[in-house]
A and B are shown apart, each in its own frame.
Chain A
Amino acid sequence: MKDIYTEEFLINVGPQHPSTHGVLSLELRLDGEIVIDCVPHIGYLHRSFEKLAENRTYTQFILFTDRLDYIASMNNNLAYVMAVEKLLKLEISERAKYIRVIIAELNRIASHLLAIGTFAQDLGAFATPLFYCFRDREKIVDIFDETCGSRLTYNYMRIGGVQFDLPKGMDRKIREFIAYMRPKLDDYDWLLTHNSIFLVRSKGIGVLIKDAAINYSVTGPNLRGSGVKWDLRKDEPYLAYDKFEFDVPTGENGDAWDRYKVRIEEMRQSLRIIEQALGALPEGDPTSKVGRIYKPAPGEAYMRTENPRGELGFYIVSDGSVCPYRLKIRAPSFSNLAVLPELIRGLKVADLICVLGSLDILMGEIDR
């Protein structure tokens, strides 16, 4: 029996693997099925956006932000144009603010739908919830298609407003979508939230405690899943968010199920916000009136917004020319991924996939 020994198993999950949500590579050390350690390797999708920004005018860079978090492009556009507006000390029309809120919240729903769909897929519910999520996301994409002509990379927000006003009859369409979406969210509760296999797979798995979440600067639904009530839309309101009533859902234990549940609840809250914003939509012209080339006074500005995946921040330094002197992007997924090794030590391989899915990271904004 002395000759029999066991040894650690080194395995590379990714960059080509069905569940790494993009080109992420995880170097795993396994003891049988148990994960001893995990080192995430990033950089496979690096496109050097921050450097590219230094050679583009402020307007030209908007379309690059689409490619950061490509599931929530509208929100990225929004954070960037708001940072530039802060730099220019520009006020925008009320209608533009409301339209931005509506569009950003619709985009949040689309993003969360994809997040829970892929999460269920990672737990082995083979494609069915994913297809349901895509079916519902399709309605939002259609709305965006009519509004700005694009289905994935929208390039819709403009410095000083939005590209186009909402098309005629769009408010009715969005209301129809709200009426359609509410019962669908209950369907997801039936299919997943209270499914016993789903519960045993995600309850108590990958527990992120409050302090660790704050120390790793985890943001978004992942932070709220750990029970921290922090939402920039409430705590540092921008646009017209202070005029709407909505709750900030939080989890209790910080496990994978809580993070999932927060996303489901956030979709309900987003529908509430959209409904209120549509009801109070002011008249006016939301399009931008400030031209395309700006020369902001030398200085700097930092603007952060609540993206579907957490706090997205743009830090812009201007030297008075038409291009930013330096642009730094604070991407939420980057911090959210950093906490992964902390969460999965001692868990099984299957749990690793579950935790990774529940963190809902996106390589586009990690690698930038």
Chain B
Amino acid sequence: MITFLNLIFMAAVSAAVLAFVAASAMFLIWWERKVSAHIQTRFGPMRVGWHGALQSIADAIKLLLKEDIAPSGRDKLSWWLAPFFVVVPSIMAFAVIPFGRRLIPADLNMGILYLMAITSVGVIGIFMAGWGSDNKYSLLGGMRAAAQIISYELPLILSMITVVMYANSLSMQRIVEAQSGCWNVFHPSLALACLIYIISATAEVNRAPFDIPEAESELVAGFHTEYSGMKFAMFFIGEYTNLFIVSAIAVTLFFGGWQGPFLPPVLWFLIKTYGIVFILMWVRWTFPRLRVDQLMAFSWKVLTPVSFVNLAAAGLLLLRR
């Protein structure tokens, strides 16, 4: 009986997470279009609903009704599975995101390790899409994505480890609680880690100036060139869900998570997360794109050594405390 209730509870939580993912992705797509438009002296969507607020829903309906075109030379299995490999891990990552004091789908005691593992799976989906499409642009995009994401995983994880050292726990809730006095970003030995995290996270979600896998001016649309209809929509949802996830992780690790005065914790969490998302959008619509080798060089020659030094320095400071 208990197991049955547990099952119902789990199903309810999953449904809630899925609903939030869909709503959030739709909101982010609309918001990005509005933000980019206003940066570019345009209005963006204005017709569907108030200031185009229902535009995402209209787009979703359009994509649902679209014909699913598949290239004849595709590799069937990887072609079909690729969108799922991109979307499913990014939804699974929600399991350990703390939205509030008790509002976390599952407070695993090794939550951050789970996050590191689960967010690395997405690259397999991207590579499968690049390989399975039987398109040279897609293949180039997929290869670039694999190289880029693997390169930036290292500084990303090193910066997360610095936080774990200070919080003395792998649990996301404990990390948030450890910041009740002072947010990690204002902590002298963790501020650099925060910067490294945000840079690597931008690369991890393939956003400008690191949007090399999709590089429209070079590779048409990169790994998802051949996808249309709902499969394309899944890549799109995956992209915006990842954007939310990396921002949520940044908030949890460096910006005090759901903590804040006056407003309820959930609201604080969402305000902070969407704040980080806004910064990532702002960067995307301002900067040109790096070249693929410059991107690799930046990761291996600058970011990785710096994060190692940062990790060692943070460790030394911790020992002296």
Contact = CB atoms under 8 A, between A and B. Distances in A.
Whether A associates with B in a native complex is yes
Interface of A: 9, 11, 17-19, 33, 120-128, 131-132, 135, 191-192, 195, 197-198, 200-201, 348-351, 353
Contacts of B109: none
B211 interface: yes
Contacts of A191: 286
A80 B289 CA distance: 40
Contacts of B286: 125, 128, 191
B136 A125 contact: no
Interface in B264-321: 284-294
30 contacts: A11-B136, A18-B216, A18-B217, A19-B218, A33-B140, A123-B217, A124-B208, A125-B208, A125-B286, A125-B289, A126-B211, A126-B285, A128-B36, A128-B39, A131-B41, A132-B40, A135-B41, A192-B288, A195-B287, A195-B288, A198-B288, A200-B291, A201-B288, A201-B290, A349-B140, A350-B212, A350-B291, A350-B292, A351-B291, A353-B218
Contacts of A201: 288-291, 294
Contacts of B217: 18-19, 121-124, 353
Contacts of A135: 41
When A and B form their complex, which 9 residue pairs have the shortest distance between CB atoms, in order from nearest? A124-B289, A131-B40, A125-B288, A123-B288, A19-B217, A350-B291, A124-B288, A122-B217, A197-B288
Contacts of A127: 36, 40, 285
A127 B216 CA distance: 11
Interface centre among A18, A122, A123, A124 (most CB of B within 10 A): A124
Contacts of B292: 33, 348, 350
Interface of B: 36, 39-42, 136-137, 140, 208-209, 211-212, 215-218, 220, 284-294
A126 B284 contact: yes
A192 B287 CA distance: 8
Contacts of B41: 131-132, 135
A347 B293 CA distance: 11
A350 B141 CA distance: 12
B221 to A, nearest CB: 9
Contacts of B42: 131
B61 to A, nearest CB: 26
Given A9-B136, A19-B217, A201-B288, A128 B40 contact: yes
Contacts of A131: 40-42
B40 to A, nearest CB: 4
A239 to B, nearest CB: 35
Given A11-B136, A197-B209, A348-B293, A18 B220 contact: yes
